[in-house]
Structure 1
Amino acid sequence: MPELISGAAFGALFREFESSAWRWEAQGTYNQPDEVEPWQRWRDGVPVLDDLEWLRSWLDDIRAATEVGKVFQRVRMLTEPLTEYLRWQMEVTPANVDAGEEIRLLTQAAASRLALPEHDFWIFDRVRVAVLHYGPGGLIGAEIVTEPATVARYEQWRKIAWAEAVSYEDFVKT
C-alpha cells in the first residue's frame, strides 16, 4: 500500500492550492461517517436542502475559495441505474453549485467507453494528484502524486471527462 495522507494533511490540500481543485468521482456509494445521519434523514423524507448543517463547512470553504478566483470543479460518474446514494447526492448538488463549484455528470457507460479510471482523485493546480483510497468505512486516505508523467496522465483523464460530461444544470433540465 502506498503512503497515504489523511485528516489535517488531506484537508490542507484544499486550503493550500493556488488556482484549481478538480475531482473525478467514480464510486456509486461512499460510506463516509459524516454522511450517515443526513443520508438517513433524506431516506426518512427530510428535504435535503432544508438540512445542510453537516455540509456547511465544505460549502463555506468552496464559497471563500471561489470568491477569490479559485476554481472548484468535479465530474461525477453516474451509475445506471443511479444508486440510492447518487440519488441523494443529486439532491445535495444544488448547494455545491450555489457555493461556486462547477459540477458535471457523466454516465458510467460513457466513462467506460472513454477508458476513465474506476478510482477517485483530485488534481490540484494541475501539478499534484491526490488518488483517493477507500475502505468499508469510507475514505482511508490519499496517495499524493507529483511525478510529471503520472500527473500528465491524470490531466488527460481530466480533459476527457470534462469535455464529455454534461453540466449539472443541463442534466436536470432533461
Structure 2
Amino acid sequence: MNSIPEFGELLAGAKQSAVHLEMRDRYFSNPRFEAWRRGHRVDWEDRASWWRPFHDDVAAAVSRGVSLRRARVVSEPVTDYIRWEHYVTTANVKAGELVRWLPRRRTADLLLPGCDFWIFDGRLIRIHHFSGDGQWVDKELQNDLSLVERCAAAFEEVWARAVPHEEYEIQ
C-alpha cells in the first residue's frame, strides 16, 4: 500500500472494533512526558487542558458503537515512561477507551508479535516500528488476513490475562 492513512482516518472508518497492543517499556520522549517528569500534573477537571484531537477521534468512534481496547505489556518495576503512561491513561479512559495492563513476567507462554499494532475491524492492521531507544521509525498497513488473525489472537490472549486500568497498581 502506497500511502498509509493516519490513525484518525483509520479509526473513522472502523465500524465495530479497534484494538491496540503496546509492548515497549519506553517510547520517544515528548513535551508532556518531560513536563510530568518535572512535576507537572494534569487537572482532570479542566478537560480543555488535556483533551487532544486523539480523544475526539476515540470519543466519536465509541459514540458510533466502535469498541476500543488497548493492552500494554510492561516490565516491572515499570520505567518512568510507563509510570507516566499509566497516569495519562485517565484521558484515554475518559474518552471511552478500555485499557488493560499485563506484566511481562506473565507472558512467557504467549506467542507475541515483535511490533506494536492497531487492528481495525479484524481486517486491517497498522504496524508500528520503533528504534531501540523508542524513537518512531515507520508504520505499515497490511490486510493479510492470516497476519491479522495471528495478531488478533495474540491481543486476545494478552487481554484475557491483563489487569483493567483502574485495578492495575504501578510497581
Tell me the TM-score normalized by structure 1. Answer: 0.84
* Structure 1: distance between partners of 2:31 and 2:170: 29
Q: Which SS does the other structure have where 1:112 is aligned?
A: coil
Aligned residues: 167
1:61 pairs with 2:57: yes
The letter for the 2-side match of 1:168 is H
Which deviates more, 59-68 or 93-102? Answer: 59-68
Q: Is residue 39 of structure 2 the alignment partner of residue 45 of structure 1?
A: yes
Is residue 99 of structure 2 the alignment partner of residue 98 of structure 1?
A: no
Q: Aligned partners of 2:127, 2:107: CA distance in 1, in Å?
A: 17
Give the counterpart letter for 1:143 in structure 2. Answer: E
Report the equivalent of 1:163: 160
| 2:117 pairs with 1:121 | yes
Is 1:145 aligned with 2:137?
Answer: no
Q: Secondary structure at the match of 1:58?
A: helix
Q: Could you say what secondary structure the match of 2:151 adopts?
A: helix
Counterpart of 1:113 in 2: which secondary structure?
coil
Contact 1:4–1:143 under 8 Å retained in 2: no
The residue number in structure 1 matching 2:67 is 71
Q: Report Cα offsets for 1:80-124 as digits up to 9, x if no partner.
A: 210110000110011111110000110111223323233201111
CA change 1:25–1:108 in 2 (3 A) is same
* Post-superposition CA distance 1:1-55 (Å, at most 9, x none): xx7855xx223212222211100000111115xxx11111111111134587465
Higher helix share: 1
1:27 and 1:5, CA in 2 relative to 1: closer, same or farther beyond 3 A? farther
Q: TM-score, normalization: structure 2?
A: 0.86
Alpha-carbon contact 1:27-1:118 (below 8 Å) kept = no
| Map of 1:30 onto structure 2 | 27
- Which is further off, 137-146 or 95-104? 137-146
Which residue number corresponds to residue 84 of structure 2? 88
Q: For the aligned residues, what is the CA RMSD?
A: 2.5
Q: 2:129 maps to what in 1?
A: 133
Letter in 1 for 2:17: S
1:14 lines up with 2:8 in the alignment:
no
**Structure 1 unaligned blocks of 5 or more:** none
